[in-house]
A and B are shown apart, each in its own frame.
Chain A
Amino acid sequence: MSSRVKMASAIVIGGVLAITVAVGFAQAQDAKNNASASRTTTLKPTAVSTAKINPALLRKPEAPARVDWSAAVMQSRAAPINTLNLKAARDPKAPTIQPLAARLPRQELDKTRLPMLMPKTGGMIKIDKAKVVSFGDAYSLNLPQDKGMQLTLMGNRSMIKADRGMISAKARAKVNGVAETVRITKLEDGWTASFRRYGVLYTVDLLCEDLQSASCATDGYLRAAIADISEVSLGAEAMKEAQAAGVK
């Protein structure tokens, strides 16, 4: 390469660098100006070391809860029986699907790895518009009711370890027809209740358009609904786990 070419290259590269530095400086100045103009308070960077974080403050989920498959399978085989359950009666490895669940997308049921608690057939809870979504180790069942009310039932195997006394030392209620104690809480827009059954956490939310309506002014309707949520369906994955756990 001739010295003239080398010099030309050096001039070009130098020029590019100079422009880059100039633009970068201008942009940095712009950024600085914009930052101070757009906020009333100057934001300053603060360095934090992860080493300083108290591990007790990191709330991580525990391994999925161990399910009492034996009790769940027994309940899933209780009446009423539909055609799918007739098959289950002949083949203990077949999923046990109750009437409501039989109307829901099978794919969602089959990938759910826990007992799917659902309203009992012919009970007080309307099931005609039920919709379900599965997360694998959790599911959420939405049940629109009359007068702008809706129930949402969630089952979840994934929980975080609570501090000592956070559950045991707090108020839990007895609900007629329900074996477990239940945490009942009023919401800004309704009521919620949660309880543990088969090793799984179940939550029932009641959302109300009119909080002053008879069904929402007290927890009476929610309590009756909880007592009505008693059927269990087990999809393919759940049944596989139950079988692996030795349940026949």
Chain B
Amino acid sequence: MGSPHPFLVSALLAFLAGAVSGLVTWRRPAAARVVAFAFAVLGSLLLLVAAFRALAHPSSAISSLPLVTLFPCTVRLDPLSAWFTLTLALLALAVSVYSFGYLRPMERTRNLGALGFFYNALLLGLALVFTAANAFFFLSAWEVMAVSAFCLVVFEHEKAETRSAAIVYIIMSHAGTVMMLAAFLLLAASAGSVDFAAFHLLASKLPPAEQGAVFLLFFAGFGVKAGIVPLHVWLPDAHPVAPSNVSALMSGIVIKCGIYGMARVFFDFFGPPPLWTGTLVLAVGVVTALVGVLYALQEHDLKRLLAYHSIENIGIIVMGFGAALMFRALGHPNLAAIAIVGALYHTLNHAIFKGLLFLAAGSVVQSVRTRNMEEMGGLVRRMPGTALFFLIGAIAISGLPPLNGFVSEWLTYQALLAGFGTTHSLTRLMFPIAGALLALTAALAAACFVKAFGIPFLALPRSEAAATAQEAEPAMRYAMALLAAACFVLGLGATWILPVFDSITQQALGVPISSSLLAHGIALQAGTPQSGTVSPAGIALVFLALAGTAVYLVNRRLRHARVATGPAWDCGLPGLTSDNEYTATAFSKPLRLIFSAFYRPRREIRPEYEVSPYYPSVIRFESGIEATFEKRLYDPLKDWVFGLSRRMRAIQAGSIHAYLAYIFVTLILLLLFGVRQ
């Protein structure tokens, strides 16, 4: 088979053509919807082929893009890039198909040409971020990605909420870029080149202080994009306000740019790192996962809830990276490989199920015209397909067997467990504690998705809009079905997919791992057969057999018995209405009280009286939780920046002469500085 690069280049050209077609059809939304997204589908398919080819025949050949000659536009599809490209291609394919249906009602009201332009630009930027082979090109692609994502977030710009979210996003994103830039400059100064190939293992050869600085700058810089705590505050604001197809891309793949950057830096630029790096990353991962899921639990805006779960899952991925870094520092490349496989597999899995969940949520929001769960309910009857797909996504994201989330969480658990034996210092306690907190995170996530599925989809409709909701269009359902099927394939077929990781771990750590992860062909094992095995396919098989038998036997019984449908018994209370139902707020109340030290909940009850104080005519109830990170970290920071700006105002004289003088003085100082060097 040939090189994957022709396919990659044609995919890039397809995205470019899609973007151009968006410009051409600027005033014709109907045409824009079909043409621009057809190009996106085409590009995704080509990208998929390129990724498959690159994974089947790993190489790290570099080729130049034939487009621009101003600066070196080199791309490379080494195994790590190919893995993220595969993730992008799969998700982009489903989301682009979904967009055909999703955007149809918007034809009359929205400029779909602009949407098509930025959408394709985003895909182009993402593909280039994952494949760029030098720092300069990488940063340019990064900016294309960040700016087009900004434009997509702000697409529904008539809402104030959208505008403020987008501004926070772009400010934080650029702060991150600055940190990345600084780190790249440090590396480039030492390598004398901006090629990624020159950075390979370079960071570990730097002096310790510089090494630490490079590490921290990269971690924070990519961390902003990935949404690690406490750099996550932009994420739950920005993801939900975008159109839902864009939200799926944002949560599914755009934040994975941060993960890709971390993987590239941690396992390509760095050799065995100092131990503290791993400890830090693991701790940040644990905190991120917990904070993400705790906020998600108290969120009743369906899309914001999903956005918080992205933070949680990023935490789980980062935990895997942290463990891998620690294992590398302690000299256990095999364990590091298991941790990396867990983290990267979770990266793909999260893209799939989070994409699925956002698409399903998008269908619901489009149909019910609100993001507030408390106004939904009973949708399983009006939108059976969407409900089924959301349920599959919910099971997968909760890490329940036999779907894909379970496999990657299982690998992460196994890596953490094995970590206890790698050292005799106190550090080793971190592994099982991190494992226990991962268990807490997963259990809380399951609780949260019982709410996220149960409240909108089950029981009785809570509003007129929910009672008359319409099922999503076929194109949207096909897209969701594709991702739901992927959840099954990646879960049940994990044993057939894991060998793909051989080339990635070979590249990063020099050990192919899959042979020690497979047992008897149908089960996964953690290193050795004695260390524990699991087989999602086997579980599914036995499950089907048992459940099938039970269904058969029970139905044979029921043939002779009377099965009636009647009003719910409800302990004898008659007249069940949607007012009796448990709400999302009520569902999450026990956890709100138990973790009140974290949430700092407030609640206010204001009765209004007309006649007697014993018979209030209206009772207003308000409850909420404190936005701790915004209030305690970012508000002081913002105040400080504003204070600084106010003081800077003194030098703003407003006179052109003064400004010229400033420039003159700066010039002289710079010249002096340059001469002295």
Does B bind A? no
What is the interface of chain B, defined by CB distance below 8 A to chain A? none
What is the interface of chain A, defined by CB distance below 8 A to chain B? none
